[in-house]
Structure 1
Amino acid sequence: MLVFNKKELLREEIEALKTPKSSVGFVPTMGALHKGHLSLLEKSVAENSITVISIFVNPTQFNNAEDLKKYPKTLEADLEKIKTVSEKILVYAPTVDDIYEGNTVSEHFSFDGLEHEMEGKFRPGHFDGVGTVVKKLFEIVQPNHAYFGEKDFQQLQIVKKLVQKQNLPVNIVACPIYREANGLAMSSRNQRLSEEEKNKAGIIYKTLMQAKKMFGTKSAQEVSKWVTNQLKKQNTFELEYFEIASEDNLKTCKRKSKNKNYRAFIAVFVNKIRLIDTISLK
C-alpha cells in the first residue's frame, strides 16, 4: 500500500496507473477510521479500477479550536484498517502546507442557502472550510466518483451543490449510515466517548426512530417539542438542535407537504463531545 504526503507524487502515481478505461474512486476522510469509512472504501474498490483515500484533519472547517485540537489522529491504525479492504488503495495523508501552500484560509462559497441551515447556524464558516478542502482534494485526485456517508447529510448536499456550481466532473455517491449495535451512528468522535457514554448515546437513535413514527400523525412542531423534552431528561446530554427539514433545500418544515421528502437532523453534546445524526422520515 502506497502512502503519499505530497500531492505531486500522488498525481504522478494516479497518472501512471491510469488507462483509457480507468475510473478513479475517492473517499475523503479526516481519519480515525471506522466501519462506515471502510464501507465507502469497499464500494469504491468494487466500482473503480483505482481508489484513493485522503486522511486529513482540515483546520479551516473547525470553528472550535478545542475540537480541532482533540480530534482523534490515528494514522497507523487507519493504515492497518485500509489494508483489510485492499492493499492497492492509494493513501493521501498530506500536511496542512501541502494542501494550503502556506495560506490556510477558506474560500467563500454560496451554496444557495444550504450553508445557512442547521450546522451552518451553529458552526460559522464551517461549510466554507468544507467547500475549500473538497474542491482542493478534487483538483488533486481528479476522481470520477467520490463517496460520502449520509450521516453528514447536510455536508453531502453541500458537496453536490459545490460540484454543480463549480462544474466539477465528479459523480457524488451517497452511502448509508453505519451504526453501532445500540444504533449510535458511527463517527470518529465516538472514540472520545467512554463505554458508558457510548451506551447512553444509543438514546439518540432511539429518539429519532420514535420521531419518525410520530411524524406520520403529528406536526413537525409537535415532534420537535417531544424530542427536546426527551433529551432534557438525559443529564449528561445537551441538545444543540433538532430539525425536521426538506431533503432538497434543508429548509425547516413548517407544514407537511405530500410532495416533499423530509429528514430529521439532530446535534447533541455528550460530555462536551458533539455528535450528529439524521434519519429519513419517509
Structure 2
Amino acid sequence: MAKGRKQNKVRQDGVSNAPVLLDGKPTSGFKADGRMTRKAYEAALFDLHAELVKLQMWVQQTGAKVCIAFEGRDGAGKGGTIKALTERVSPRVFRVVALPTPTEREKSQMYIQRYIPYLPAAGEVVIFDRSWYNRAGVERVMGFASDEQVERFLQMIPAVEKAIIDSGIILLKYWLEVSMEEQTQRLKARIEDGRKVWKLSPMDLKSYSRWYDYSRARDEMFKATDTSWSPWYVAHSDDKKRARLNIIRHILRHIPYEAPKRQQIELPKRQKPGDYREPNYLWKVIADTVDTPPRVG
C-alpha cells in the first residue's frame, strides 16, 4: 500500500454487485447505484499498478512465462481491462496480441498453429485480446467455422493447453460477462461518441442480435474447456471499474511472484557546462493553444 493513501475496506454483497448499505446509504467509494467512484477506483488502481511493476521485475529476473487470455461478449470491457493492466508496465515485457482476420494461408493451417508463435518466451507476459477461443465464439456464431470444426477444436484444446502449461507457461483465462442492458448502452455509446466510433465494427452489429446464440456457444465452450489445469474465471463487468480491479487482483493472486530486492538509487551529479553555450537557433516551437479549439467550423 502506497504511503498517504487509505485503503477502502468495503464489505461486498456476495450475490449482487451492490455494496452493503449502511443506514440506507452506499459505503465509501461507491455511488448510489452501487458503482465505484472514480476517486476510489484510481486510488485502488495506483496500488495495483505498483504490484504489477513488482510482477514485471520478477518475471524478468526469474524468466517466468505468463499467458493471459481475455474473452467475452462485445462491449464487455476487455480492451479497458487490458489497458488498465498494461498502462504502467513495459510493453516489451507485457505484450498485447490482438490478431487480425486470418490470411488465406493461415486458414489452411492447423487452427491453433496461428497462435503458437505468440506464446511467451522467458521473461514475458503475453496478453491475448481474444485468443484461439475465437473458434468457439464468433467464428461459430457467425458461421465462419463449421460444426465439425468447432467440435474438433473443443476436443483438442484442453490437451493443447495442458501442453502449454507443462512447458512452464502460467496460463490464465478470463471471460468478461456483461448484461444485455449494459451491452446495449455501451454499443449505443460507440455510435454517439466520436472517441469510440472506431470500436464499432459491422461484426458487432451482426452479433448484437444473436445474444442467445453467443450464450449457447459460451456454455458449450465452458463445458468442454473449463478444466482443472486450465479453468475459466468469469468477471461480471457491468461496473467496469470494479471488474478491472477484481481481475488485476486475481491475476496477482494466481502468479507466485515475489517483490524483488531493489538497490537504493541516487541520481548522479550532472556534469558542469564547461565551454557549452546555448545555440542561437530559432527553434520551431509548438504554440500553446490549450484554450483554443483544435478545429473551427
Instruction: Please give the range of the TM-score, normalised by the shorter of the 2 chains.
Output: under 0.3
- Ranked by relative contact order (alpha carbons within 8 Å, sequence separation 6 or more), the top structure is 2
Higher Cα Rg: structure 1 or 2? 2
TM-score norm. by structure 1 comes to: 0.27
